[in-house]
């Protein structure tokens, strides 16, 4: 499923197999200051937990465990989700993914560097941060 990463600046989308993976990755990348929206259902997923009176409780309620255990149990899905972050709208996502899938492994880093340079409008580096996390996890695309 395609999700919008809700933040005050750049238009960012990513792919996740479930709302729980989307929530988890949004909390990690956004530090609790960003949300996400499932573009298929239109449902907003409240990952903006920074000002919650019990952020850890909200994480446990949504994920069924603390975030560290959840990431460990879902390492490949989390890594793949982080790898999918991009500065594209939901409408442009299919074309972006088709272009990305044609890249050879040795072309990905250059493509990503140019994508960040050409599309990031703010000082936030949410997408670059997500890509860095994805490379630290086994099985990342």
Q: Does any domain span residue 77?
A: yes
Average pLDDT, the chain: 93
Interatomic CA distance for residues 129 and 40, integer angstroms? 25
Interatomic CA distance for residues 79 and 127, integer angstroms? 13
Q: Does any domain span residue 91?
A: yes
Q: Does any domain span residue 140?
A: no
Coil/strand/helix, residue 71: helix
Predicted pLDDT at 137: 59
pLDDT, tens digit, 9 for 90 and up, residues 87-126: 999 999 999 999 999 999 999 999 999 999 999 988 889 9
Q: Does any domain span residue 125?
A: yes
Interatomic CA distance for residues 57 and 127, integer angstroms? 27
Is 30 in contact with 47 (CB distance < 8 Å)?
yes
Provide the domain count of the chain: 1
Q: What are phi and psi of 14, to 5 degrees?
A: -155, 170
Q: Does any domain span residue 129?
A: yes
Domain around 119:
2-135
Q: Does any domain span residue 99?
A: yes
Look at the pTM and tell me if it is higher than 0.75.
yes
Q: Who's near 70: CB < 8 A, 6+ residues apart? A: 20, 24, 59, 63, 64
State the average pLDDT over residues 80-86.
Answer: 96
Residue appearing with tokens 């600046």: 9
Q: Does any domain span residue 141?
A: no
- Give ∠ CA 52-49-55 in degrees, rounded to 5: 60
């Amino acid at each position: 499923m395609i999700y919008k990463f809700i933040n005050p600046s750049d238009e960012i989308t990513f792919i996740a197999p479930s709302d729980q993976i989307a929530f988890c990755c949004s909390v990690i990348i956004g530090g609790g200051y960003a949300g996400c929206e499932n573009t298929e259902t239109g449902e907003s997923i409240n990952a903006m937990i920074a000002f919650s009176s019990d952020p850890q409780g909200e994480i446990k309620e949504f994920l069924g465990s603390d975030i560290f255990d959840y990431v460990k149990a879902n390492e490949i899905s989390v890594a793949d989700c982080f790898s999918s972050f991009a500065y594209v709208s939901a409408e442009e996502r299919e074309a972006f993914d088709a272009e990305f899938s044609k890249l050879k492994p040795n072309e990905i880093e250059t493509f990503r560097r140019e994508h960040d340079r050409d599309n990031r409008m703010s000082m936030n580096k949410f997408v670059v941060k997500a890509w860095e996390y994805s490379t630290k996890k086994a099985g990342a695309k």
